[in-house]
Structure 1
Amino acid sequence: MHLTHLACTACAQEHDASVPQNVCTACGKPLYPQYDLAAAGRTLTKAALAARVKSLWRYREVLPVRSDADIVTLGEGLTPLLSAPRLAAKHGLAKLFIKDESLNPTQSFKARGMSTAVSMAKQFGLKKLAAPSAGNAGGALAAYAARAGIEAHIFMPADTPRANVIECRELGAHVTLINGLITDCGAEVAKRKAAEGWFDVSTLKEPYRVEGKKTLGYELAEQLDWTLPDVVLYPTGGGTGLVGMWKAFDEMERLGWIGPKRPRMFSVQASGCQPIVRAFSAGEKFAAEHIGASTKASGLRVPKAIGDFIMLDILRKSGGGAVAVTDEEMIAGVREVGAAEGLFVAPEGAATYAALKHLLATKTVGPDESVVLFNTGAGVKYLECFGG
């Protein structure tokens, strides 16, 4: 609505937002949409939100779609921010919250990004979309593409949770299983997309999925009465949720909604796939590929992320960090969170709880800090992870 242009996250080169774009044509890094925030702020006010639609499209002025007719929605966003009093009491925390993204359409946070990406694809008149997926992104792409009447071509590792594969197929997507990791699936999309006429909507390889994800940051501020938490723990594969929130915080400050204070952001990864954790510990700007990546948390099995430098910069600027947890800790965490708070969280969501334990044990997080854990999906999609 108030989109002005796209800017490279690395070299700042501007790109035309009126035509489909993937990555920066100069350096190959991700592009971010930029807005006329002064114009947006004339109608997008805190007071105006009270009467707005109960979805992420309540922040319409800072989302990229020009016409309402092109919005492809299934009611995504505005998920609950739930207090977790029993888990808080167990660990001596004053304020602990869980942002429950499992209540999105297709039962994961991926619905946010695919809603905005597919809406823009519809605006541009694109007919065929393609993406690699470890599971939930594929399901979201399949759903929103079906809603828009656009073909979806999804490439998934052969050991992707069965629920995700079935979901994609039953939503009408063309699904190809690959013996390998999500990086191998991405290579297949890249190799074939020109000949097949596909537009690539891979994580951060098109500019608009991050815009859906940034609404996590807007919602967090709104739900906490415009005071951001002290600590955010986010399960990180491709990282769009983490970088999207940071983008939202910047936009909200420029809108005059919040001040300069930011949460300390912590990336949580699996010990079997921890490129960001290793790079953070080593003080690196970019993260080397994690060779032989392996974890039951399919959403965390991303051995190399194009947005690695953005994530690492955010973790350092915020005074946060990066934590790796084992699959065993995640699976135990699913049960512990479920028994205490009644939420059947995805292993990726439970990873943030396991990471919190580490941070409390090392006194990296203090008892008086307000903490938000992100549960990015529904545990029911990962039944292979659980016995019985």
Structure 2
Amino acid sequence: MNYSFASHLDCPKCHSVFSVDSIHQLCHCGSPLLVKYHLQELKNRVTKDEISNRKDFSLWRYHELLPVLDENHVVTLGEGFTPLIKTENIGHCYSIKNLFMKDEGIIPTGSFKARGASVGVSKAKELGVRSLAMPTNGNAGGAWALYSSRAGIEAYVVMPKDAPYVTRVEVSIAGAHLYLIDGLISDAGKTVARLVCENEFYDASTLKEPYRIEGKKTMGYEIAEQLKWNLPDVILYPTGGGVGIIGIYKALLELKELGWITGKLPRLVAVQSEGCAPIVKAWQERKKESEFWEKSSTKAFGINVPKAIGDFLVLEALYKTNGYAISVSEESIQKSQRQAAELEGNFICPEGAATFAAAYELRKRNWIKEDETVVCLNTGQGIKYPDLFSAELPLLRKGENIVI
């Protein structure tokens, strides 16, 4: 039995083909590359029931649909198969009867970035990479630094100085080389480009290597499997670089071709902050690519991406699924974060809270219907952003009794 049915790399723009056995970054036309698989062969060898009966509850349960050819190169901390929780209390408030949260907060490193790091670092190890460099808004840097450490790969991570403190600590404690810059992730990307050029490092920037997306797509597999190979009506995803929503769409197309799912695909929703909404603007104008968002700012730091290299793939996923792109206010993000904690007992990250704020707004617009099955993606733990809320605690004076 093949460990992987990976076939080749394909350019979605010019359709050039590349090998999965050697290092490739962007296509010569400048587009990200996507991994293709021998799906018809896989269809005859593996069934969805076999997948469901597996005892490996990490994302590697789907190893045939991942790009690592040799199991010995897998770098894992047990990431994946995160819970899909019905949020009944919030759903009641929003008048959405079947509102679910895919909770990526309990994954290793505390965010969904561990998925991309596990698969991306595993493939880098298989390809013989010794040093890699990447820009990050925080969580991806922490994840890639830790997984690189486990793989014996030297990591160089560049992030804005305003990135969450916890993620800076993750990079540092993993022994990676951390560089802080006064600017945005787009500025960090320019620094990484120089490091890559001057030192011939492997460029692990978002979508400049083809394999991070393969880890992220497993969220789509899991949602389908956890719903007994049925599909929700709507999936809302916080969108910065857009790898998650691109990956989920890719997973759904692969499952469809395998015959493991049937019916209409979920309507995909890209959620951004009003302070940084290039995808929303492009979608509203029915464009194929976005424009750079000047002076971007949001406390949902993970979606503070003024221009995504894979924006055309995000927009395609929205158009093809009759989806939506919506921006939400900073106030609504913070309100939804409090709601999730007070009503559901879950301290979610601000990016995840943005999807709940969007679900509320889309229900008000009747774009989401009351009886539809809706999945919000929480992409990380709220405790990784300790400075967003102040603890308003009553002070107990010396000698004072607590009266119930």
For the 8 Å contact 1:268–1:355, the answer to whether it is kept is yes
Paired with 1:302 and 1:150, the residues of 2 have a C-alpha distance of 27
Please, which of 261, 265, 275 is the counterpart of residue 264 of structure 2?
261
The letter of the residue matching 1:65 is V
The residue aligned with 2:34 is: 32
Give the match's secondary structure for 2:293: coil
Structure 1's consecutive aligned runs of 4 or more residues displaced over 3 angstroms after TM superposition are none
C-alpha deviation, 1:181, in angstroms: 0.3
Paired with 1:121 and 1:80, the residues of 2 have a C-alpha distance of 28
Give the match's secondary structure for 1:385: coil
The residue aligned with 1:207 is: 210
Deviations 1:148-179 (A, max 9, x none): 01101000001001011011101111100011
Please, which of 47, 55, 59 is the counterpart of residue 56 of structure 1?
59
Give the match's secondary structure for 1:384: coil
- 1:223 and 2:229 correspond: no
Q: What is the aligned length?
A: 387
- 1:281 and 2:272 correspond: no
Please, which of 314, 332, 338 is the counterpart of residue 335 of structure 1?
338
Paired with 1:207 and 1:187, the residues of 2 have a C-alpha distance of 19
Q: Gaps spanning 5+ residues in structure 1: where?
A: none
- Larger Rg, first or second structure (1 or 2): 2
Paired with 1:283 and 1:251, the residues of 2 have a C-alpha distance of 26
Paired with 1:231 and 1:297, the residues of 2 have a C-alpha distance of 22
The residue aligned with 1:305 is: 308
Paired with 1:131 and 1:9, the residues of 2 have a C-alpha distance of 23
The residue aligned with 2:154 is: 151
The letter of the residue matching 2:16 is Q
The residue aligned with 1:364 is: 367
Q: Gaps spanning 5+ residues in structure 2: where?
A: 392-404
Please, which of 360, 385, 388 is the counterpart of residue 388 of structure 2?
385
The residue aligned with 1:44 is: 46
Paired with 1:328 and 1:387, the residues of 2 have a C-alpha distance of 15
For the 8 Å contact 1:142–1:172, the answer to whether it is kept is yes
Percent of pairs identical after alignment? Answer: 47
For the 8 Å contact 1:131–1:154, the answer to whether it is kept is yes
Paired with 1:17 and 1:171, the residues of 2 have a C-alpha distance of 28
For the 8 Å contact 1:44–1:59, the answer to whether it is kept is no
Deviations 1:249-278 (A, max 9, x none): 111111110124100111000110000001
Q: TM-score, normalised by structure 1?
A: 0.98
Q: TM-score, normalised by structure 2?
A: 0.94
The residue aligned with 1:106 is: 109
For the 8 Å contact 2:96–2:363, the answer to whether it is kept is no
For the 8 Å contact 2:282–2:291, the answer to whether it is kept is yes
Two-structure CA RMSD over aligned residues (Å): 0.9
The letter of the residue matching 2:350 is P
C-alpha deviation, 1:384, in angstroms: 1.5
The residue aligned with 1:317 is: 320
For the 8 Å contact 1:153–1:175, the answer to whether it is kept is yes
Give the match's secondary structure for 2:284: helix
